[in-house]
Amino acid sequence: MLKFFSEGELETFKQQGYLVVRGLYKAAEIEQIKAWVDEVQSLPEIPGKYMMYFEDSLLEPGKRVLSRIENFCPYHKGFHELINGEEMLQRVHELFDEPAILFKEKINFKMPGGNGFTPHQDAQAGWNDYASLFITVLITIDESTVENGCLELAVGYHQRGLIGELWKPLTEENIKGMEFIPVPAKPGDAVFFDSYAPHRSGPNLTGHPRRVLYLTYNRRSEGDHRLQYYADKRKSYPPDIEREPDKKYVFKV
């Protein structure tokens, strides 16, 4: 079977906890993916299907902007084939050194006025209830810059396991001595990172969106947990359209 990563790239991922792949998708390919993002972005809110989340704009007080959408793979043929396709699964297989299966998928839109994400490890969101390790693939849709809140990663800290507490962002004490390295990216660039790699991003105070596709996989040998994960998430943090009007919902990690 065709191998996508060199031994050097596999070692970089192992040592850093992440791997940047420039130009994973060429111009025509990313234009197609961008068109799919536009299609998903324009979907109406429907209870019980894909999960759309909104946030207060930092630039226009009182305005709610689309923050992210999850669980859209079953409702979009193009994304389903991309996310579960042989090439993507083989890349993650190589990083795990065994077959992989999809755990969750989301698009972070980070619209103008969209907020950033405080330092955290993905494992802090209770993912270990489902499997022991995850690899996330970030696919850049719009150019990602320091100014619009690109991903920032801390090198090597994934080897320490869980650094912070579950369901809480990393504290100042947790990140003492960490250097978060910005990873600006062009459309079609990708970043593969593991669920213990500390990361963060700033807000988008520019006039243009910074949309990013996030695909998360676990080892196939640890089971298929996607449906259970989304069932659990609907209960603990439902999409906006499924929320009780008088109940306060807080995004933790």
Note whether 212 and 137 are within 8 A (CB). Answer: no
Report residue 244's pLDDT band, with 50, 70 and 90 as the boundaries. very high
Band of pLDDT at residue 250, cut at 50, 70 and 90:
confident
pLDDT at 252 over 90: no
Tens digits of residue pLDDT in 186-238: 999 999 999 999 999 999 999 999 999 999 999 999 999 999 999 999 999 99
CA dist 125 and 127 (Å) reads: 6
pLDDT value for 135: 98
pLDDT in tens, 90-149: 999 999 999 999 999 999 999 999 999 999 999 999 999 999 999 999 999 999 999 999
Residue 130's pLDDT is: 98
Percent of the chain with pLDDT over 70: 100
In order of their start, the domains of the chain are 17-235 (2.60.120.620)
- Sheet (strand 64-70) strand order: 18-21, 190-194, 134-140, 212-219, 100-108, 64-70, 51-56
